[in-house]
Amino acid sequence: MVQKTGEARTHTAAALHGDAVIDALLHQAGVLRFHGGEDLFNAADFFERQPLPGGRRIGIVSNSAGVATLAADACATGGLQVREASGAPNPPLLGIGAGPDEYAASIRALFDDAGIDALMVFYVEFHDGDPEAVLEAISAVSAGQPKPVVASVLHSDGQLPARSGVGVPNYLFPESCAAVLTRAVERREWLSRPLGESPLYPDLDRAAARAVIAAFLDRAPAGGWLSLADAEALLATHGIPVAASHRCLELERVIAVAAQIGAPVALKADSAAPTTASDIDAVLVGLHGESALRSGWLELERRVQAAGRQWIGAIIQRLPAPGGSDVLVGAVSDPDLGPVLAVGLGGRQAGLGRGAAFRLLPATDAEADELIDSSEGVTAELNGFRGSALLDREALRELILRFALLLRETPEVVEVDLNPVRCMTSGCVVLDMRLRIEPRRPIERIRTW
């Protein structure tokens, strides 16, 4: 999808930019991304010769308190945990004259400690030390062990000793050691992630979804934004719960609809997609009675005109159960990656900062959970932010999976905001939506010779 400069965009499309998104998508695919040649070759050196760590708990051996402190700081930056060895401080500081035997004994003790997953070993030459012998001792005691070891063994002039045999990876800086172990832990966690299960929803109506798309493209061959009625119909084909919306061109129609659906209601200014009423704070909730509706209609009209927009009426909805939190669930079709799904805080908070999380379309419950957990704001709301009630995570997960199945079935849907999705203590429901359709384009083939 190519977006023209200055063109109105959904919150999802506006947020889809930057390296953070690419990093998230590559992580989902199990690809480690490196931002420099040194990091790449350091990691390749490690992966070729060392096992993956079983966790993030790191033991440090050093003859320099300063180097050990730098290593501990680098571990904290990478999310690694420097752990104390049983019955001894960690890092265990050896004397400045410590040689191969002392290093071998300290490393053996850490290998035997079940609370440590990987080792970082540092040696700085003082006086007449022997870095080559120390590095050989580290490599010898580490050979065949299930826990990985990285080292930074240096001569007094700051140079690395010449390699002898394969041995353990030996890097110039403690930060390089921590960076390599961080990537190794990421790899272990990705390989150990739960695979999950693909959902089976017998109520999906794929033919009806295709019919909605085909009917729209018959009317608008170049594509465009679905009407509210068409958007609701499309979501309904895949069992995505939507709050009924009633478009009203006149105030008297609002009063009549309110009498039918009951109070309390939400009244929001109607707007041409992709703009929304919440963009200009043209949403009023909790309205009761004819007097409140008349005043609300006039106030919304004033706000719309003050924002320089055309007043085209209002939409009225019966409010869902009180409480809950608003979430954004959206998608954009990337020309290289295909459909990219986003989850973040919704309502007026949609698009604030970089709070949205992105993934390729989740296919299992585990992938949907990972997407939810990647948005710290959404996770905090689901878990009961500031003492509020726990919200229905399972319902949000099901909505996301149904939405992903719909996007797979209808690739003509190239941009979507389901915003807000009201997550409640039981269930969740879409309160507003924007869906853009484009005719399917032929796949561009790579030229071959």
Q: For the segment 35-55, what is each residue's pLDDT rounded down to a tens digit? A: 899 999 999 999 999 999 999
CB of 340 closer than 8 Å to CB of 359: yes
Structure tokens at 365: 């419950």
- Cα 12 from Cα 216, distance rounded (Å): 23
Angle at 407 between CA 441 and CA 16, to 5 degrees: 80
Q: Which of 370, 339, 405 is nearest to 198 (CA)?
A: 405
Structure tokens at 380: 């905090």
Beta pairing partners, 18? none
Q: Which residues fall within 8 angstroms of residue 271, CB to CB, at 6 or more apart?
A: 277, 279, 282, 304, 309, 312
| pLDDT tens per residue across span 126-164 | 877 899 999 999 999 999 999 999 999 999 888 888 875
Residue type, 431: L
Query: Looking at residue 405, what is its pLDDT?
Result: 97
Using DSSP bridges, classify how beta strands 224-225 and 81-82 pair: parallel, antiparallel or unpaired.
unpaired
pLDDT at 352 over 60: no
CB of 375 closer than 8 Å to CB of 356: yes
Q: 320: how many CB neighbours lie within 10 A of its CB?
A: 16
- Cα 159 from Cα 153, distance rounded (Å): 9
Residue range 302-321: mean pLDDT, rounded = 92
Structure tokens at 299: 């106030």
Q: What is the mean pLDDT of the chain?
A: 88
Query: Looking at residue 17, what is its pLDDT?
Result: 60
Could you tell me the sign of the dihedral formed by the alpha carbons of 384, 390, 391, 393, in that order? positive
Q: Which residues fall within 8 angstroms of residue 263, CB to CB, at 6 or more apart?
A: 287, 288, 289
Residue type, 1: M
pLDDT at 112 over 60: yes
> What is the phi/psi pair of residue 24, to 5°?
-65, -40
CB of 327 closer than 8 Å to CB of 421: yes
Instruction: Quickly tell me which residue has 């909730």 as its tokens.
Output: 285
| pLDDT tens per residue across span 167-207 | 899 999 999 999 999 999 999 999 998 889 999 999 999 99
- Cα 286 from Cα 288, distance rounded (Å): 7
CA atoms within 13 A on the CB side of 311: 15
Position with higher pLDDT, 426 vs 322: 426
Confidence of residue 16 (pLDDT cuts 50, 70, 90): low
Residue type, 327: V
b (16+ CB within 10 A) / e for 349-377: bbbeeebbbbbbbbbebebbbbbbebbeb
Instruction: Quickly tell me which residue has 């590559």 as its tokens.
Output: 26
Residue range 334-358: mean pLDDT, rounded = 78
Position with higher pLDDT, 352 vs 261: 261
Percentage of the chain surpassing pLDDT 70?
Answer: 90
Q: Is 327 helix (H, G, I), strand (E, B) or coil?
A: strand
Structural domains in the chain, CATH included, are: 50-191 (3.40.50.261)
- Cα 123 from Cα 67, distance rounded (Å): 9
Q: Where are the beta strands (DSSP E) in 162-321?
A: 224-225, 246-248, 265-269, 283-287, 314-318
Percentage of the chain surpassing pLDDT 90?
Answer: 67
- Cα 412 from Cα 4, distance rounded (Å): 19
Instruction: Quickly tell me which residue has 């429901």 as its tokens.
Output: 429
Beta pairing partners, 355? none
Confidence of residue 280 (pLDDT cuts 50, 70, 90): confident
pLDDT at 355 over 60: yes
